[in-house]
A and B are shown apart, each in its own frame.
Chain A
């Protein structure tokens, strides 16, 4: 049986949604161990990891922040794993790059799926702003795959048992890099942008007024995004920027309001499930990649759409 390890993503003590998706995929590949880095998981977290496929939870207690130390910690907990799955984030890409150089594993990042074919891990990715599908085989014995959020539907197992918890012995190495200051970013209400199944983004067309964007995001249970224009103007913080150099999102639904769809923005959202756009300019490039578009003012269109959705729910 293939041994699969899954690195747990967290928000404080809570397991992040993408990890439940990753566990769901992992259990289709083999026996699953979840890896918890830093501190100890609560019994609720352990039960949740078990419900989604982990037979074992491996805990590496020392808190580490530098990529080199995190890679060593993850390596200590996954020495026997044939396949390691992580969530595709900038931080995790650095960690798995180091681990792969230490173990000889092959790596695919930003994957939308993974399967075992003839004893090898094969992955699917969308590239070039989601205009191409690529299928890749990892040819080495050990494989590491970083998965994009929202690419697998998280499903709990009906007959799950509570996993065993194992503490992994680990002494953090000294690293050349020192983290001299950490300032926590205040979590906005609701689900983090990268993990959201619905993203409502506003751009230049909002003129800096995000009230309708927030209202629609809240109604749809989604997160608020923005274009580079809007974050450069200081209308909304950088953490909300959707794009190739900001946050890449792949939600089920992406709403672009007052966003023209510059190439860098499209690269960060084009792999979304359904894309809808509202823009005053009928020639805005965003319409070319939308499933449904309204040429008009977001200040007219969004209130009417919100009212109609509320009415349909009532």
Chain B
């Protein structure tokens, strides 16, 4: 069982998240691996552990700070880390990012075939959930998205997914791209030994040239969208009352006054 997990460096949810020049500000101080990628790492580790053999590889695409996401994956037990970094990647839209990730996946798949690529269900900064599908199309592999359960047997992956109107069971032959939800498992915590080992682990650095990707096909220039403006929204001005027997009436009056009740 050979599984690649894509991980993304995102600003911490509790931090003060901002935009700089139309792009999400990402600094090493308040960022880490996207929380939902922990479920992808856990799913990959469980499959390899159950198979009794194999390898989990973590891959990230991004600037110098993004390596922190791979290091977090190594802390959790991932055996090999790869960081694709190139100035030309900056400003890529999801299609540019998918092209780069696909090129890296193909290279790893050529070394030795992969069974699965597992991703999180969304990155908690952009929340578009588009990458898994775009990656499957680029690779021309099956897509099994939003899995709340994942099993692999006899060269076939089976997932369950919970949509608002239906619970589906989907199957596809390997290799496949699978995205897992936060219902899929409970991610493990890194132990001290793993944290120390991850600190000094060698993470492979690949450039676009290493992957044979034309720099003009990714980055800002190739992006199909451009952020024109990004502005903080005015904060609400909360009106808070303590219930001393009249709280419900005050709440109702507030709603009636606003024409909401």
Contact = CB atoms under 8 A, between A and B. Distances in A.
A276 B137 contact: no
The 9 closest A-B pairs by CB, nearest first: A304-B248, A296-B243, A106-B224, A308-B252, A176-B142, A181-B169, A305-B248, A294-B247, A97-B133
A193 B166 CA distance: 14
Contacts of B224: 100, 104-107, 138-140
A183 interface: yes
Interface in B118-149: 121-122, 124-130, 133-134, 137-138, 141-146
A87 B215 CA distance: 33
Given A93-B129, A187-B165, A305 B137 contact: no
Nearest to B244: A296
Interface of B: 13-14, 17-19, 36, 93-95, 121-122, 124-130, 133-134, 137-138, 141-146, 158, 162-173, 176, 181-183, 223-233, 236-243, 246-256, 258, 260-261
Contacts of B166: 182-185
A301 B142 contact: no
A238 B95 contact: no
Contact of B130 (A93, A220, A239, A312): A93
A302 interface: yes
B229 A289 contact: no
Interface residues of A, number: 90
Contacts of A194: 164
Contacts of A132: 17-19, 230-233
A126 B247 CA distance: 32
A185 B133 contact: no
Nearest to B242: A295
A137 B228 contact: yes
A159 interface: no
A305 to B, nearest CB: 4
Interface in A165-185: 176-185
B165 A185 contact: yes
A247 B164 CA distance: 8
B230 A133 contact: yes
A43 interface: no
The listed residue with most B CB atoms (<10 A of its CB), out of A94, A98, A137, is A94
Contacts of A307: 248
A289 B176 CA distance: 41
Contacts of B183: 238, 245
Contacts of A308: 248-249, 252-253
A233 interface: no
Given A90-B146, A180-B170, A185-B164, A290 B238 contact: yes
A290 B122 CA distance: 26
A297 B243 contact: yes
A104 B232 CA distance: 31
A90 B249 contact: no
B167 A183 contact: yes
Binding site secondary structure of chain A: mixed
Interface string A296-314: 1100111111111100100
Binding site secondary structure of chain B: mixed
Given A132-B232, A263-B14, A290-B238, A177 B170 contact: yes
B229 A180 contact: no
B252 A312 contact: yes
Contacts of B173: 176
The listed residue with most B CB atoms (<10 A of its CB), out of A97, A135, A309, is A97
A278 B251 CA distance: 9
B249 A305 contact: yes
Nearest to B239: A292
B225 A139 contact: yes
The listed residue with most A CB atoms (<10 A of its CB), out of B163, B165, B236, is B165
A274 interface: yes
A234 to B, nearest CB: 13
Contacts of B181: 245
A193 B146 CA distance: 19
A305 B252 contact: yes
A239 B239 CA distance: 31
Contacts of B169: 179-182
B170 A178 contact: yes
B172 A176 contact: yes
Contacts of B145: 67, 90, 94
A135 B122 contact: no
A175 B246 CA distance: 60
Contacts of A109: 128-130
Contacts of A133: 229-233
Interface in A86-112: 89-91, 93-94, 97-98, 100-101, 104-110
